[in-house]
Amino acid sequence: MSELVTGEAVALELRPSRLPSRALAVLLDLVVAVAVYVAVTIAIVVSTASLDEAAQTALSIATFVLVLVGGPIAVETLSHGRSLGKMACGLRVVRDDGGPIRFRHALVRGLIGVIEILMTFGVVACIASFVSARGRRLGDVFAGTLVVRERIPVARTGFVPPPPPWLAGRFSGLDLSAVPDGLWLAVRQYLTRMQQLDPQVGWSMAERLASDLAGRTGVPVPQGVPPAAYLAAVVHERQSREARRAFGSGSASSTASAAGSASAAEAAPGAHAAPAAEASSAGGAASAAYGPPVVPPGVAVESSGGVRPAESQHEMPTGDRPGTGFVPPA
């Protein structure tokens, strides 16, 4: 299995096809191509019986090139890598990055396929597929393509819990360009499986990943932020940037409207009780997944969830007494 990572930190699984299924697909394509070639040849011979031998030879060569070489190239280009045989076997030709192929990819595959499939009866293609780790023939190597399986069971993707509400927008200024795709994949896999890990093992893994991520961004992990929450917030920030890049100002306006709705809910709690309850439940789920913020020494947690210095948690006395910050016991 070949894994790629998209801009949204999602692992894209590509399952290379095996040699038997590819051989069956090529055999079906050859049967169809040869049948078309024979039909076209018979039609040309009947219609050009009055021509000389040189003209008939030229037409035969042109028919061979157009039908057995140009035909598969045109079919793969128009169908984006799915010929008749590949459609029957559930296969598809894609680029190395998982995208659909274009004319240049199909052209290279078709021209090299004449040598390794037609002229050598598929012996060279079979040897190259056995040697290659992903079962690629020479045409795939030179074209930068890969034949993958399309009919695979749908795997259940892991759900990444959202970051805690108190970290929303806190990492909007981070430079994420130096973070490699392998690290994004490791962070996402940890977030999807952290509830299944031993607490101590999960905490050490989160600290290691957070340290690696902070080293790539050049900004240390903020004090008081749990490493798992830090990882979730940074992944959420990357996904938000990719969404803004893909959809333009649409996501920004939707974010602004969501913020406006939240403000309206605070101004009129009776009129917006249901959205407030949903937001409260989402915040509770995030807090349960990542835990409360880690409070450093000298900092006290307020009832609203924020933090403030410990020396400010006592009210200043009134009257003529000096402001020592001491509150006598009741």
**pLDDT tens digit string along 226-276?**
888 888 888 888 888 888 877 765 544 444 344 334 333 433 333 333 434
In this prediction, residues 186-211 reach a mean pLDDT of 86
For residue 257, which phi and psi values (nearest 5 degrees)? -65, -35
Which two three-digit tokens encode residue 147?
A: 């034949």
pLDDT at residue 310 greater than cutoff 70:
no
pLDDT of residue 158: 57
| Runs of H (alpha helix) within 48-153 | 53-64, 71-78, 84-89, 103-113, 123-131, 138-143
The secondary structure element, H or E, covering residue 189 is: helix 181-193
pLDDT average, residue stretch 65-72: 90
Average pLDDT value for the chain: 74
Query: What per-residue confidence (pLDDT) applies to 292?
Result: 53
* Calpha distance 167→163 (Å, rounded): 7
- In this prediction, residue 153 carries a pLDDT of 54
Predicted confidence (pLDDT) per residue in 135-168, tens digit: 899 999 999 998 988 865 554 555 677 788 888 7
pLDDT score of 28: 93
